[in-house]
Structure 1
Amino acid sequence: MRPWPATGLLEHSPQPPHNDYWAAHAHVLLSAYLMAAAVDGSGVETILAWIAAPDDGRPLELLRTGPVPTWAQECEAILPLPAHDVNCVLFTARDALRANLQPAAGNEPG
């Protein structure tokens, strides 16, 4: 089995997740959303919008027609979790993605 693409994103999160359960689900969700964005030709802003609006069915539609349709099922198992759990997953995914958008120290545009 090949690794999920979001592995490196969570490693560079501003603070390590306090709960492996949320981190594992955020990993799956981010990987799937990265794939959906690739299928759609979208960028990081679109992924952040999907994370902010978990009821948006667009990423699942894209995943179902993409190269790994089973990833839609993975998301469908995560998104209906109890509100507290899904919010923690979404916050973990969002924070990891945002942390990777920050320029490295000394590499700021100037």
Structure 2
Amino acid sequence: MDTEPTSYRDRKVISIGTVSELTGLSERQIRYYEERKLVFPDRTKRGFRKYSFDDVERLMDIADKIEDGVQTFEIRQEMIRKKKAETKENVRENMLRGQLNAHFNLRK
């Protein structure tokens, strides 16, 4: 990972076995969702997957959607749309912050 996680929720410290126990999903299902690019675990030097608490919640949300008949492709498309919307909002916030800083001669 490029940067140190800011919250304990983001730290990738949970093994796939524990994630399986917490979510009720099989390890095979969890690996399948990784293959479908719905969850992104880190890997240890020995190749073991490590998940965060946010990943656990995402997997539970994915399982609920799958149970409701939503396809993995649709879930992935929704994730992409949300990420784009978050990125646009961050750009807007940074632009506004920059304009305010420039207007009031503020430096960070």
The bucket for the TM-score relative to the shorter chain is 0.3 to 0.5
What is the TM-score of this pair, normalised by structure 1?
0.32
Which one has more relative contact order, counting CA pairs under 8 Å at least 6 apart?
Answer: 1
What is the TM-score of this pair, normalised by structure 2?
0.32
**Structure with the higher fraction of residues in strand conformation:** 2
